[in-house]
Structure 1
Amino acid sequence: LLACKLLYIFAYPYKSYCVLAGKPVSAACKIEMSPPRVMVKFGHSLTANCTSLYSEIAGIGWESTYGGVGLQTGISTLPFKIDTVERWVIQPTCYVTLPNGDQCEEPLPVTVYQVPESVSIAQPLSEAGPMVEGKQYRIQCDIVNVAPASLLSVYWHKGNKIIYHETFKESTLSPVNKSSILNLTAQRDDDGSQISCEAKLDLGPGELNHSAVQSKSHEVAVLYPPAFINPETETVELSDRENIILYCNATGNPVPVYSWDFPQAIQEMSKNEDVNQPFLIPSFQFPGNYSCKASNTQGTRIKYFTVIEAPSKLLLLNSSHFSACSAL
């Protein structure tokens, strides 16, 4: 093997090793890393192999501020091992010295990560009180002790749907606390839905994808004014066979209360009617204009009914009138 001139010596609590002086190789370095990049959880072990693809080398080694391996001869593959990763920045580089003194090197990308310690919605929605339809609310998700934040994604869930996604521009590699804000304009369809936030490190495919931590789900309560299930105006025909039923069902939060108005001709006779229900079966089947009022703390809506005689009745009346005139 060619003799090499020692350039400098690294001394660390874990390893001491030398880097050989040599002329850098201008062409692509024929070094193969396995795996080509490493994702390692803080406190876990790290192992990677560096293999020289040259037919002959003077030596191979790992240069690193943590866990380096000095120049080894007589081999073409050299492992890089750390039993317990206790630093957030690890920058190992595999180097190969050729018989002519040239040297090439290849860095191994290493990401040290930590899944969030906790993920929670800052103020439970139940404690904040019900929302009001049409108003905008800020909901905060707190992510504690996560690294690196540059790989962090936060997903806001409403039921089974993702309604917002946020990433972060963060250069710090050690654990940090982050927050995500959801701006939600309350809608009546949100009432009763479940809101949660999920923090996930984008570490790539495989088992490393099990890095997601989700907050507890919180139920959304939204106050909104009444809205009728059926059209706000209806025409109903009187029937000889059965009593008419007027339906005034409405959705709303709080649950609406109801009141009814009758045609003036039967108002006195209808004083004993139960007018606090979402439907009405008039005791007196009388044509005219009826109305129903649905109210809650958020508003009032009115529905109108026009009750008319059935065409068969009108035809019978007209026929009787015609017969009477003919007899005269």
Structure 2
Amino acid sequence: MIVIIFSCLILYAAKPASTSCPLEITPNFVLVPFGGSISAVCKSLSSQLKGMGWESSFGGTGLVKGVSNLTLKIDSLQSWHVSPICFVNLNGSQCTKDLPVTVYNAPTFSQPTNETLTLQVGSQMSLDCSASGNPLPEYSWKMPYTSKVLTETQSVFNSSFKHPGPYECTAANSQGTITKRFTITQAPRPRRTLALMLGLFVGLAVMLCILGYFFVTPQGTFSSKKQSYTPGSATSAPV
């Protein structure tokens, strides 16, 4: 008999304590746009409570005594991350329950909507189409030199500049789609380069004139032994 009682005591001591919390939150999760409002009610299912409250960076209430249900109210949520927690103080213990919150938003660009760039051919081209949003946006690009749409996970397109024209970027998620346009024009060649090329052409022309003066005969043939010649005068002939 003593052995049976002792065994029962061991089994009771080894039984894990209940991990359930007598709290009920309605709704049990929230989907809200950035800047939107939240309203959720936390209700205690136990009558042995001393107080309850909401812990939250927005709309938190702290401990409130003498109530069995409490409302979390946020008029305008200005954060992408918020984790409200409802808690209840029971006799000698406290339990909590989380309210999952997902903040979503359509994509918005971090830079001006449209841009115009002037680049030299062969220079590095970097087009920034960065956008914020939740879920994270996906990007696609339309190029002036192809009809194919390039799908990218990166928000910045880097390439060597070869083709002027319109480059169009689209950022999209489940909440919306926005488009940004880059107009790329080709910069004129620097004046120094043009002057250098003109100088080379002039120098080549002068050199050809000099060579013609010394090595082209009056008959229009080329000779490295050109003699002086006066029109109408006799030329020397071998005897």
Report the TM-score when normalising by structure 1.
0.37
> Based on CA coordinates, which of the two structures has the bigger radius of gyration?
2
Name the structure, 1 or 2, with higher relative contact order (CA <8 Å, separation 6+). 2
Structure with the higher fraction of residues in helix conformation:
2
Structure with the higher fraction of residues in strand conformation:
1
